[in-house]
Chain A
Amino acid sequence: MKVSLRDAPLKSQVALRLDSGDDGINDRLAALGLRDGVVFAVQQKTASGGRVVKAEQSRIAIGAELSRKLQVEVFE
């Protein structure tokens, strides 16, 4: 099931699906360890409507706007 990161259930494991989009954003996400296919946990909702995700050893805060744009596949 592919949904936006914002719509993915909290505490779920998801895989990132970078279909297309801004190369600059994709580069930045890749540098943070978030590449196409990477599995991570959606940890919590933030005060500004974004999400905190946990990928490998890193905890990454993603803003509300980007959370709406990013597509993920929910595993559980």
Chain B
Amino acid sequence: MNSNAIPQSAVSATSTPGESGRMATPTLALVGVANTGKTTLFNALTSANAAVGNWPGSTVAVSQGVWRVSQTTAFSEAAALPSVLNVLDLPGTYSLDSITPDEQLTRTLLLDTANSPEICVVVVDASRVSHGLYLLSQLREHRIKVMVALTMNDVAAKRNLDIDPIALLNALQVPVVVVDPRRRKGLETFAQAVCETLNAPVPTPRPLRSDASDVLAHDEDRFTWIAAAVKAASKNQDADQVSVSDRIDAWLLAPYIGQIIFLAVLWLVFQLTTSVAAPLQEGLSQLFSGPVSEGAAWALAALGVGESWVEGLIISGLITGVGMVLTFVPLLTLMFALLAILEDSGFLARATVIVDRMMRTIGLPGRAFLPLIVGFGCNVPGISATRILTNSKQRLLTVMLVPLTSCTARLTVFVMVGTVFFGQYAGTAVFLMYLVSVNLVVLFGYLFRQFLFANIPAEPLAIELPPYQLPKLRLTAAATWVRLSDFLKTAGGVIVAAVCAVWLLQSIPLSAESAFGEVAPKDSAYGAIARTLAPAFTPTGFGSWETTAALMVGFVAKEAVISSWAQTYAVPAASGETAAGALGEKIVAAFAESSGGHPGAAAFSFMIFLLIYSPCVATMAAQTREIGKKWTLISFVIYLLMAYTLAVVVFQVGRLLW
């Protein structure tokens, strides 16, 4: 089983479908085309009792949750509905034809296992009802309990489309329920229909009139069935009416203007996730390094273990680690909320269209642009933002590319190094690093596509544009909470453990002269490892143990490179322009020595290495959560080797020039 699987504790104590043994709690699977309100219905049913993650043995994202029926409706007692149902939100799919891994998984879960869900709910958008019924037509050809949840009825009404659910029920011969999960209306009727369907016998599959081997005739048969049902259920239909969405799209999808609006929205997302979150992050960081640490030190002193290794473990390990995790909360909250708004409003579907051609050059759909842009703020939410990609292979590739985007943590180091080594040209040096970062994303995207993911389907763009909607605050909050809590649960522990591991290495003395937890960095196991590794960096021009140690700490957090230098050189930490003091002089002197008199070339080589060599531990934790240990390790090794190679080339060429 994939270690990256959805935590089952978040769902129930019973097994998942697909594993051996029939589940005690019935499972309800939500299926349907993307953007029909399927996930909104899932959120309305499960509230916060949900977990988002990869399905065991795959990289396909499936949400699982528990629907506590009694909390949704008072109906359950009267109708003998189970008090709890497991709910699966399967990837959006048009049909059961297995083209993408997501569709294959959906098909497998619904049809090919002995433990398929007890009931399958096809979520159909009432404003484009015929579109959602193709999947239903295929499901009706199998022995499976199925019903229809008709959503987006308000949108249909605005477009003067009136669908009669009773007529649709009669035509399809499956239960049809009108539900508005965005406003939590119709959930009681939905529960009643679920109960009736669960208690009813498995329906006889709909017979196809055509020859079983004639695929086209099968399709024609299905479309005839769908057309008849839609005709019977449509009271009045004016498809030619120009809708508000049509008018908005006339601007939003238009050449030039569309791209400008799209870039403006991305800029806003980038600004909000960095500028707005930055002071909150800083405040939390200061809170943990200041009052919280001081309070803990006082409490530990009162307990008689002050200034001991216990204090080091608690303050430098646990509190620092937890503080680091929590500093991500404002950033991630904003990011997830903005993503939910963009998704709920219908904007993300347009993003796919607008930058489709550009992203296609590296084998990704247009919407992959967003996680990459977010990555320039912070790689962690950038990786989490890849959840908007429905194709698992495309998501895998994007997750592997996000660490190449130069995050703001790297920026602090680039500004410091740039100021110290390049003075008035620091801005140009930093800009160059951003150019390098963008080019690396394109280059590695191309290389990965050629050598690792040649089988990524080069899907031509053909997507339905959902109508625009005003985002709902409750839905945004629920989606944000599910994603945030999932990150904290899965990545938080890894980050705290990594910070504690660094503290442990820094606390272990190599001689009997110092006690555990009371040793200078250069005399610790941490210093010894750095001294052992340092000669390997001689060809890069920065082969001093102090810089090697800083890069080791940089694995935990990139911005900690500066404080590591400050600690090892025993001068106050500084950043940006204020760094050109005593710390800057010491770093320049160390680089001049390790590079044989070419500190500028060594500094540029160092920045290249810092950009590529490894994402921070939080990013790696997020990567592991999304794509599993294997691919995280593969990308780590590739980037480490590439960082070293490029750093050597840059230094060796650079030292010939200056």
Contacts and interface: CB of A to CB of B under 8 A. Distances in A.
| Chains A and B bind each other | yes
Contacts of B442: none
Contact of A57 (B129, B134, B262, B356): B129
Contact of B463 (A33, A47, A60): A60
A16 B249 CA distance: 23
A11 B421 CA distance: 60
B99 A27 contact: yes
Given A43-B246, A46-B354, A56-B130, A63 B255 contact: no
Nearest to A61: B353
A46 B255 contact: yes
B239 interface: yes
Contacts of A50: 353, 356, 461
A15 interface: no
A59 interface: yes
Given A28-B94, A43-B246, A58-B128, A52 B253 contact: yes
Nearest to B250: A44
B258 interface: yes
A28 B99 contact: yes
B131 interface: yes
Contact of A44 (B159, B161, B254, B459): B254
Contacts of A25: 460, 462
B355 A48 contact: yes
A12 to B, nearest CB: 14
Interface residues of B, number: 46
A41 B196 CA distance: 42
Contacts of A49: 255, 357
A62 B461 contact: yes
Given A35-B223, A48-B353, A48-B355, A61 B256 contact: no
A56 B134 CA distance: 14
Nearest to A38: B223
A27 B98 CA distance: 10
Interface in A33-76: 33-35, 43-50, 52, 54, 56-66, 69
B353 A47 contact: yes
Interface in B216-272: 219, 223, 237, 239, 245-246, 249-250, 253-256, 258-259, 262
Given A32-B464, A52-B465, A47 B99 contact: no
Nearest to B245: A59
A31 interface: yes
Contacts of B564: none
Given A54-B239, A58-B131, 5 more contacts: A44-B254, A46-B255, A48-B354, A48-B356, A59-B249
17 contacts: A28-B99, A29-B462, A30-B134, A31-B135, A32-B131, A33-B130, A44-B250, A56-B128, A57-B239, A58-B128, A58-B464, A61-B253, A61-B349, A61-B353, A63-B360, A63-B462, A66-B460
